[in-house]
Amino acid sequence: MAYVTGYENDVFVSYSHQDDCPLVDDTSGWITTFTRQLNMELAKRLGSRALKVWRDPGLAGNEPLTPQLLEIIRRSATLLVVMSPSYLNSEWCARERESFCSFARECVGQGRIFIVRHRETEREQAPAELGDLVGFKFYMEDRDSGVDRPLDGADRDYVQRLYELSHHLANKLRELNQPPQPAAAAPLAQPGSGTAKQSVFLARSTDDLEGREEELRAYLTQAGIDVLPRAWYPEADAESFGGAMTRDLAQCKVFTQLLSASHGRKLTATADQRLPRLQHEIALRSKTPVVQWRDPRLDFSQVQDPRHRELLDGARACGFEELKRAVLNEARCEATAPPARPSNVMAYVDAEARDLSIATDVGSFLAEQGVDCFWPVRTGTPEQVRRDLEQHLANCDGIILVYGQADPFWVRDQLLQIRKIVSQREHPPAALALYMGPPLEKGELGFRLPNLMTLDGRSGAKADVLQSFVQQVRARAA
């Protein structure tokens, strides 16, 4: 018997024999090597020698499915599909897959099918019964030539993805091996009970950051964090896409997004909406905490799309290892009830006299979010005004400089003062932002700072605009 009680095999490997043909005659094929390594890693994770991973090593693709093979499929707990063009073109593989699904009609919903992407395939060609499963990518594209090839044991990414796949497979096999439990009413979650699942939503990245995305996914998985989404979302209809993503976000403690100079591709259902920005807007609407990242070496001159610039301005510019630790800490952070006492987190909103009404509105919103807020007082002597500014800049956790009706030279001068005072602090503020208020047309400021967030509030949408600033300042309190 297998590890999972009631089955003869734990994993049935469905693949095209063409993908197991070795490039060199005296070497093992990719499928043979991969299956052997997966078997060993799964057995170690489960701590059991009873594990059985079954694959057909010799049947020809044109032979009928015999009753014996049908019985093997039926008695398998999970199905692992090695996806490739050869697999999609194989009638034999299609019959294997359909046979498994006929015996386990809800196998996709139960998480009993795992996809290993051996070579690049078009998403539209994937069989409907696989339910748009994302799967585990085991191939790479050369950035210079655009040529793709399967990963192998010499590639660091291969090992990471093998660990990730074996982690999820082991969890599923443990789950299937548990005896059924009688239904019981779920206890009501209490505020601050910390019972929220440790899950992270990892946004789909642009092609140039796909390797980073896989690295972060593997890191979180090895730390015991569940990473969503597990399936592609329907892109033909914007409402369906948003609904599916919102349901996944409801299970997650943090939304994480990796950003580059590329503004990403358009969705089929949206004429002018790019995928990175759309995912970010859905996360904000769901009120899920957001952690965005960009490489601190990113050249902003490459970014022509002003809407994508706004996303980059709100992202953390730090090393990737620092980002991984920050996401992990956010996922493990226990939920707490709203503070009953002052937050002890303070922001200062610096504004010229003509923009004090904007500063007041921004400050009121921050206060509603549990952030103590101060803005300039224009009465008193110039010396008192200067000393008040210096005291607040020296002690605040976040700074917002308002650029509304103010003269661009005033904004530049204030920014120089802010930098001078902040540079003398032992610990810099958690967030520094430039808030763009009305009017729409403004003079050129002529600077770029790597860690300066740009918040576009010219349309007055303070809640969405200020959310990333609030989250960074709150992180300081945590």
173-211 tens-digit pLDDT: 998 888 765 544 444 434 333 344 579 999 988 888 887
Full set of structural domains in the chain with CATH: 1-177 (3.40.50.10140), 194-336 (3.40.50.10140), 346-477 (3.40.50.10140)
pTM of the model: 0.51
Residue 330, token pair as written in the block: 């956010």
**pLDDT value, residue 189:** 39
**pLDDT value, residue 401:** 95
Cα 379 to Cα 35, 374, 414, 418, 446, distances in angstroms: 75, 15, 18, 21, 31
Question: If the chain, 478 residues long, is cut into consecutive pieces of 10 residues, what is the mean pLDDT of each piece?
Answer: 89 89 81 94 92 76 60 85 86 72 61 86 69 78 77 86 89 85 45 55 88 83 82 77 90 93 79 84 89 87 83 83 87 56 76 90 86 86 87 92 93 92 88 89 83 81 74 74
Cα 206 to Cα 233, 236, 262, distances in angstroms: 16, 19, 7
**pLDDT value, residue 164:** 86
Taking only the tens place, the pLDDT of each residue in 33-87 is: 999 999 999 999 999 989 999 987 665 444 555 667 777 878 889 989 898 898 8
**pLDDT value, residue 364:** 86
**pLDDT value, residue 336:** 45
Nearest Cα neighbor of 422 from 397, 450, 449, 454 is 397
324 close to 227: Cβ distance less than 8 angstroms? no
Count other C-beta atoms under 10 Å from residue 111's C-beta: 17
| Rounded distance between C-alpha atoms, residue 406 and residue 356, angstroms | 10
